[in-house]
Amino acid sequence: MSAAAVAIACGLGTALCFGTGDYLAQRVTRRHGWLAAVFGVQVAAAAILAVVALAWHGLPSAAPTTYATVAVIGVVNTLGVVGLFRAFEGGKLSLVSPIAGSMGAFSLGFAWLAGHAPPRLVVPGVVAVVVGIMCASVVVADRVADQGNESETRASPRAPTKLRRASGVGWALLSAVGFGWVFFMLGPSSELLGPAWVVFGLRLVAVAALLMLARAQRVSLPEQLGELREHSLGRLLAVATLDAGGMLSFAYGTSRGVVAGEIAVVAVLASSFPVVTIALACVRLREGLRWWQWLGVGGVVAGIAWISAWS
């Protein structure tokens, strides 16, 4: 398989994992709170990644500067994860998921500035994917509250609801910028240490940071995690597995001696995950797509085909 084909496969694999994980994560976040949900996912993902890393790479071995770089990436990644789950808790999935999905545009910008611009013939496909994501993600707000927030919406005045949705957008944008930079930096570090160990390191940093945050806020994590384990263990493990799989797919796709344009291609294709979320909502929740959403999905498919043909 060519390097371009691997980049495309990894980008699409990341999108499938993240899109499905977002669909499953919102219910966990709204039921148990963002801090317990984020912490539970990070711990479960770290356990999965430790096994994968040992089986794939063996014991880690790298220069101290590499570990320091991973730690810095881990801090920014934690901000991105917190932003994503806070957005899920306070905003509508159809609104915040596309904003978070713009991480690929930020990764593309960072890569372009660093001299990793995609080949010119690939640019039309990249544009088609980005525009398709935007079209497929636009929805018409319903007056009827979604199932997870129905009772809350009836009990709350309009102003607080608007404030929460605005906050959700801000958190989603923070997530997009954070993940955009993390994904730009992930490839070189993964090449030195191994994709699985790098992603495992990001999870360790997140666990440590969240523990300190919980202590500062005097939150009883054991109590919240007990409730999470009792009511949503299966969904939590599914989200953690998809989270680990998506990050591994992206890290591997950009760690094999990165050539110009590979980071951009993987990042843009990975950003199509809101389309996966919308498709799941259509199939599982029987939500119909508007005509412009179908055009958006078609644009994403056409863009992927174009990138595949010219990479």
Residue range 17-27, pLDDT digits in tens: 999 998 888 78
In this prediction, residue 294 carries a pLDDT of 78
Q: In the chain, pLDDT over 90 holds for what percent of residues?
A: 29
What does the buried/exposed string (b/e) look like for 120-135 if buried means 16 or more CB atoms within 10 Å of the residue's CB? eebbebbebbbebbbb
Q: What is the DSSP string of 147-162?
A: GGGHHHHHHS-HHHHH
Distance in angstroms (rounded) separating the CA atoms of residues 19 and 212: 29
Q: Fill in the DSSP letter of residue 115.
A: T
User: Which distant-in-sequence residues (6+ apart) come within 8 Å of 297 by Cβ?
Assistant: 132, 136, 275, 278, 279, 289
Q: How many domains does the structure of the chain reveal?
A: 1
> What is d(CA 41, CA 27) in angstroms, rounded to the nearest whole number?
13
pLDDT in tens, 170-203: 888 899 889 989 988 888 888 889 999 999 999 9
Mention every residue, 6+ apart, whose C-beta is less than 8 A from residue 72.
none
Q: Is the pLDDT of residue 162 over 60?
A: no
Q: What is the pLDDT of residue 257?
A: 54
What is the predicted pLDDT for the residue at 108?
73
With a CB cutoff of 8 Å and minimum separation 6, the contacts of 206 are 38, 42, 74, 77, 78, 81
Query: What whole-number distance in Å separates Cα of residue 216 and Cα of residue 310?
Result: 52
Structural domain including 31 reads 3-310
Token pair recorded at residue 232: 């949503």
Report how far residue 129's alpha carbon sits from residue 276's, in angstroms, rounded to the nearest whole number. 13
How far apart are the C-alpha atoms of 39 and 225, rounded to whole Å?
Answer: 9
Q: What φ, ψ does residue 274 adopt, rounded to 5°?
A: -60, -30
Residues whose CB is less than 8 angstroms from the CB of residue 87 and which lie 6 or more positions away in sequence, other chains included: 96, 99, 100, 168, 169, 171, 172, 175
Angstrom CA distances, 168 to 28, 95, 151, 155, 224, stand at 16, 9, 19, 19, 22
pLDDT the model gives residue 309: 63
pLDDT at 8: 85
